[in-house]
Amino acid sequence: MKEIQCDIAVIGAGTAGMTAYRTAKRAGKRTLMIESGPYGTMCARVGCMPSKLLIAAADAAHHARHTAPFGVHVDGNIRIEGKEVMDRVRRERDRFVQFVVDDVEGFDAEDKVRGHARFVSEHVLEVDDHTRITAGHVIIATGSTPVRPKELEPLGALLINNEDVFDWTDLPESVLVVGTGVIGLELGQALARLGVKVSIINRSQSLAGLSDPEVREAGRAIFNQELNIRADVTVLGSEVVNGKARVRLQVDGKELVEDYDYVLGAAGRRPQLDNLGLDNTPAQWVSKGRVVYDPASLQLKGTSIYLAGDVNQRAPILHEAADDGRLAALQAVSNGQDEPMARRARMAVMFTDPQVAVVGTPFKSLPEGAVTGSVNFGNQGRARVMLVNRGLLHVYADKEGKFLGAEMVGPQAEHIAHLLAWSLQMGLTLDQMLAMPFYHPVLEEGLRTALRGAQAALRGK
């Protein structure tokens, strides 16, 4: 077995792992990057990019069907060629992945180790049966894997996840989506707009990661105008019948039996820590699949091991994963002596129509005395001009007027979310935010309305 010694070993070559590797190398440390699967980040291969490609096709179909209110009439049928849709998704996806592969191929050959890494002890890794690595520090950046509900396991290959969707060569006739988070709603709406019969179920009332009840229910009402979303549903069982996925559901106290081409499991993801041999280290387990780590330094308690990226479940977002990789590497380089770097303002965006965004402190975590400002996009000028006038934005501030966060369902939330995240990171107050220019007519004037509402609520106290 080949023996290698290094300062830092990185397990996983995704966004967090690649960033950790680069950061440690720039610091002059002997660094190894270990990968057991194909190169290419989750974002490029099965996440952000292919999902946006599918959504772009769905938006094109939707817009083509809804031109009449503008006085623009499209004669004839809108024809969706599923094979052409999926061909573009896969072709462009592969292009994005190749950029990542090319990047990795530029890394020093002696730094790349192929195979599955497993801890023999805190500082010793074995990669398959060919390499033994002794490392001063280890950064785990193995990502996450979809949760497979046990009630749906009998479906076998008909139980799919988002990673499977992007390898389709054609669109199916029907899909049951289990879960109303980012993956479930984004893909569910996209497939429905592309002509697939879609039903979405969830075991609770949760929706899109929204904790503000008014914003959540506004979103539910909007999405239910287009999609068949059922909450508080229990999956009783499943089986394959005549090549179809048959599921037994309890809905509103009644048992239903429904058949679909596929069932898309979108009920969350779990850390990919299986078979790493962490039991051979001092790592402490919170529960199955979760270990104790310091969210400030990403260090596993009592070890020289770090968790970076989706594997720590802190914030499964690309720029957060990159920051995790940088933070973990810097901590390893300094042997934990440097103060952990400051983190960016938190934000999450869902690319449904309308979009969903959560920035900073969510409603459920607001401190006592916090105020809320609101705008309903139903009568917002620019939104009505573009016929996207639906949605609700709530902004939150503390009792001193400092901006805390926001929750939103509405048009172009991705852009408003950035303005709010930047304001939060700069520590701005409501007064300072309202001192900024707002052009006319733009959707951001709706944001100004919400900020003024929070300001008025503060002054009314």
**Binding site members for NAD(+):** 179-186, 268
Q: Per the structure block, which two tokens stand in for 271?
A: 């850390």
Distances (CA, A) of 252 to 110, 188, 205: 60, 22, 13
φ, ψ dihedrals at 97, nearest 5°: -60, -40
Catalytic residue among 63, 137, 394, 440: 440
The amino acid at 100: V
Phi/psi of residue 49, each to 5°? -75, -50
Q: How far is CA 1 from CA 92, 127, 132, in A?
A: 40, 10, 7
- Contact indicator for 143, 14 with CB cutoff of 8 Å: yes
Closest by CA to 41, choosing from 63, 73, 19, 23, is: 19
In the structure encoding, which two tokens stand for residue 261, read together?
């081409």
> Taking the chain, what is the end-to-end CA distance rounded to the nearest angstrom?
71
Contacts of 357 (CB under 8 A, 6+ apart): 347, 348, 349, 350, 406, 407, 408, 413, 414, 416, 417, 420
Give the residue numbers of the binding site for FAD: 52, 142-144, 310
Q: Tell me how far apart the alpha carbons of residues 400 and 415 are, in angstroms, rounded to a whole number.
A: 26
**What three-state secondary structure class fits 185?**
helix
Q: Which residues are annotated as a binding site?
A: 52, 142-144, 179-186, 268, 310
Q: Is 130 a catalytic residue?
A: no
Contact 175, 183 (CB under 8 A): no
Active site residues: 440
